[in-house]
Amino acid sequence: MSQETMRVQKISAHSGTVPGEGTQREYTVSKLIDTTTCIGCKACEVACMEWNDLPFGETVFDNTYQTMPETRWNYWNLILFNEHEKDDGSLMWLMRKNQCMHCADPGCLAACPSDGAIIQYANGIVDFQQEKCIGCGYCITGCPFNIPKFNPETKRVYKCTLCADRVGEGLEPACIKACPTGCLHFGSKEDMKDLAEKRATQLRTHYNFPNAGVYDPAGVGGTGVMYILHDATQPELYGGLPKDPHIPLAVRLWKGPVKWLGNLAMVGGIIGLFIHYLRFGPKDKEDEQIREEILVAQEKEVKAREENRPAVRAKVNEEGGEPSKGEHL
């Protein structure tokens, strides 16, 4: 990957043209995760923490091998463990490395109201620029994969950068480098798609996975992180991977109002009011309905996750008391 691929291609809430827009794009990068050869060893989790210098957090036993219930502002790469009993009674222990999917059409970026807080490089990496983040949390709503997480101390949002700093220097992301089985691959999107299809074909032909396939959902324009799944018809089994993810309609609509309100703000000089309105103001009816839909969908997802959990979910540690604040973030 040359520096050229790190050229900025999209900018959140930016009114002007993107510098360098229209020049020829080299290629997008892509991470391919083969869940059929993932052994859940968590080397990727550790590599992510080490490369990105993320601080340790406290965890509690939760009746699972999964390190924590979901990604945190300081834990960007999390393998989700799910036990699934097939109709024939045989067991599958599904392990899916969860992190930012680096959507071609990123919901977080679409939702972000702060100029330049979220950018997409020409190579497809979606990157948060925390110094421009205003902590509004819209990106969290905009993400169909529940990835960006808010740090209450810095009041900013964080997520996987696909190791943009490494990729820019021609290196693979840290998780890829650490993977011992080679279930993680990195390369151009085209190459990865090709590899993924070949592996899926092998799984359908030589192994007992007639529904093996590739997860690269069109609803978000395809993703910079693709999965090979044993059963591509049931992505929800893998810790609630959405079957057909879309940018929430609300976020799409905000594009209009944002621009319109932005103009109004310039004219009236009431930027503060605008921010306040967006965050806490009276709720647009249509907006309200869409939010509801999102909540229902999220609830469904949580429920699905619950159901996939082994038997019963653990109570929170009794001896150790309630988990630290960071636990829920």
Partner 1 sequence: MTNGWVDIKNTDMMLIMGGNPAENHPCGFKWAIEAKRNRNAQMISVDPRFTRTSAVADQFCQIRAGTDIAFLGGLINYAIENNRIAHEYLVNFTNAAFVVKGDFQLPADTDGVFSGFNAEKHTYDRSTWNYAGSGGKPVPNPTGMSTGQNHGTPPPLPPLPENVDYDLTLQNPNCVFQLLKKHYSRYTPELIERITGISKEKFLKAADTFTSVRKDGDLKKVATIIYAVGWTHHSFGTQIIRTAAMLQLLLGNVGRAGGGVNALRGHSNIQGATDMAGLYDTLPGYLKVPTPADADFDAWMKRVTPTSSKPQPWQSFNYYSNTSKFVVSFMKALYGDAATKQNGWAFDYLPKVDRDYSWTHLWDDMYHGNVKGMLSFGMNGVAIGPDSNKNIDALKKAEWLVVGEIYPDETSEFWKSPKVIADGDMKQIQTTVYRLPCAGFAEKDGSFTNSARWLLWKNAAVPLAGDARLDHGIVAQIFLKVRALYQKEGGKFPDPILNLTWGYSDKMNPPLAEVLKEMNGKALADLEDPTSKQQIKAGQQLPGFAWLKDDGTTSCGIWIYSGAFTEAGNQTARRDPSDPSNMGVHPNWGWSWPANRRVLYNRASCDLNGKPWDASRAQVWWNADAKKWVGNDVPDFKADSPPTDHMGPFIMNPEGIGRIFAPLAAFADGPFPEFYEPIESPIDNLLHPAVSKNPVVTKFKDADDKFGTPAQGYNVVCTTFRLTEHYHYWTKNNPMNVQLVPEPFIEMAAEMADEMGIRGGEHVKITSARGNYIAKAMVTKRIKSMLIDGKKTYQIGIPFHWGYRGISEDEGRTSKKLVNQLTHTATDPNAHTPEFKGFLVKVEKV
Of the candidates 207, 205, 224, the residue with the CA atom closest to the CA atom of residue 215: 224
Candidate segments 214-222, 235-243, 282-290, 316-324, binder of partner 1 by CB under 8 A: 316-324
Strands laid side by side in the 8-11 sheet = 8-11, 118-121, 126-128
For residue 187, what are the β-bridge partners?
30
Nearest approach in angstroms of CB 146 to partner 1 is: 21
Candidate segments 31-39, 161-169, 258-266, 276-284, binder of partner 1 by CB under 8 A: 31-39
H helix intervals, the chain: 43-51, 107-111, 138-142, 164-167, 174-178, 189-206, 249-268, 271-280, 285-308
Helix (H, G, I), strand (E, B) or coil at 328: helix
Nearest approach in angstroms of CB 171 to partner 1 is: 19
Residue-wise burial string across 209-237, b where 16 or more C-beta atoms lie within 10 A, e elsewhere: beebbbbbbebbebbbbbbbbbbbeebbb
Residue 86 lies near partner 1 (rule: CB under 8 A): no
Four-residue CA torsion sign, 137, 146, 37, 44: positive
Among 180, 210, 268, 281, binds partner 1 (CB under 8 A): 180
Nearest approach in angstroms of CB 193 to partner 1 is: 17
Residues 90-109 that bind partner 1 (CB under 8 A): 90-95
Residue 183 lies near partner 1 (rule: CB under 8 A): yes
Residue 312 lies near partner 1 (rule: CB under 8 A): yes
Residues 45-84 that bind partner 1 (CB under 8 A): 45-46, 49, 56-65, 67, 83
Among 5, 28, 36, 120, binds partner 1 (CB under 8 A): 36
Q: Which residues bind partner 1 (CB under 8 A)?
A: 36-43, 45-46, 49, 56-65, 67, 83, 85, 90-95, 180-183, 199, 202, 206-208, 310-317, 319-320
